[in-house]
Amino acid sequence: MIEAREISKSFGEKTVMHSVSATFETGKTNLIIGKSGSGKTVLLKSLVGLYDVDRGAILYDGRDVTRMGRHARQQLRQEIGMIFQGSALFDYMTVLENVRFPLDMFTTLSAGERRKRAQQCLRRVNLEAQADNLYPAEISGGMQKRVAIARAIVQNPRYLFCDEPNSGLDPTTAGVIDSLISEITHESGITTIINTHDMNSVFTIGEHIAFISGGRKLWDGDKETILKSDCPDLQSFMESAVRLMSLGK
């Protein structure tokens, strides 16, 4: 379980996160929703410790990251996998090398074992073996997302963070990526946190949902209760999202 207690973050004069508290449960897909610019990425990056929060505490199963030294934090990061908004694959490495990279850096496995484990993860995300030796620039956006997932899970993380894993993809591929993440979460009992503004994801994989707007958490619940919420901002967010979806059809 990951717990954020009243965390705030500002860049210079501008406060982009106002005292956000939230819990994200183990073995579930926890969604953070909100419109563009609402502070989803900042919240996620604060949770993983890429940004230092100004106030508040972040607990990973009771361990407070905000009070950890650099070394302890690096240790904890072995248990974290993250998928970035733009995939963030290393562009001078092939697909296979990208996935193998965390193993190269942190394990004492033999070269053969590392390759095998990397290939296993790539097959898990349904990527064909032909893609193994291509560079990220040579594969499609959807494939890049899958490689990013494979790289995030290669070390069997306990916590998985996904920043808009299906943005920029067509609805079918987006659905595939969503269900892939959801399956992996349930298979290994990972604490997964996903940023999204896609209502499809909310209704298919949203087990626990937090809504943020303007850097504040305004609502949380699950996909059953979200339709009955009386939070006006959430209602208008959903309305516009649903209108966009029906326009798309």
Partner 1 sequence: MIVDPGIGMIGRYCRFMYLVMGRPEKWGVFGRRILQETYKLGVDSLGIVTLISFFVGAVVTIQLANNLDNPFIPTYTIGFAARETIVLEFSSTIVCLILAGKVGSNISSEIGTMRITEQIDALDIMGINSAAYLAAPKVVAMVVSVPLLVMYSMCVGIIGGWVSGFMTGMVPSDEFIRGLHFMFKPYYIFYSIFKSSLFAFIIASVSSFFGYYVHGGALDVGRASTKSVVVSCVMVLMVNLIVTQLLL
Positions touching ligand ATP (CB under 6 A) are: 11, 14, 16, 34, 36-42, 85, 197
Closest distance between Mg ion and the C-beta of residue 90, in Å?
21
39 interface partner picked from Mg ion, partner 1, ligand ATP, none, CB below 5 to 8 A per type: ligand ATP
HSE (side-chain half, CA atoms, 13 Å) at 62: 0
Q: Are 212 and 41 in contact (CB under 8 A)?
A: no
Q: How far is 186 from 173, CA to CA, in rounded Å?
A: 20
Report the residue number, 41 or 166, with the smaller CB distance to Mg ion: 41
CA dihedral 49, 52, 54, 57 (to 10 degrees): 30
Closest distance between Mg ion and the C-beta of residue 37, in Å?
8
Report the residue number, 100 or 163, with the smaller CB distance to ligand ATP: 163
34 interface partner picked from partner 1, ligand ATP, Mg ion, none, CB below 5 to 8 A per type: ligand ATP
Report the residue number, 153 or 198, with the smaller CB distance to ligand ATP: 198
Q: How far is 169 from 175, CA to CA, in rounded Å?
A: 9
**Sole residue written with tokens 């919420």:** 229
Q: How far is 163 from 195, CA to CA, in rounded Å?
A: 5
Q: Is 228 exposed, middle or buried (0-12, 13-18, 19+ CB in 10 A)?
A: exposed
42 interface partner picked from Mg ion, partner 1, ligand ATP, none, CB below 5 to 8 A per type: ligand ATP
Report the residue number, 15 or 78, with the smaller CB distance to ligand ATP: 15
Of residues 26 through 65, those in contact with Mg ion by CB under 5 A are 41
Q: Which residue minimizes CB distance to Mg ion?
A: 41
HSE (side-chain half, CA atoms, 13 Å) at 10: 7
90 interface partner picked from Mg ion, partner 1, ligand ATP, none, CB below 5 to 8 A per type: partner 1
Q: Which residues bind Mg ion (CB under 5 A)?
A: 41
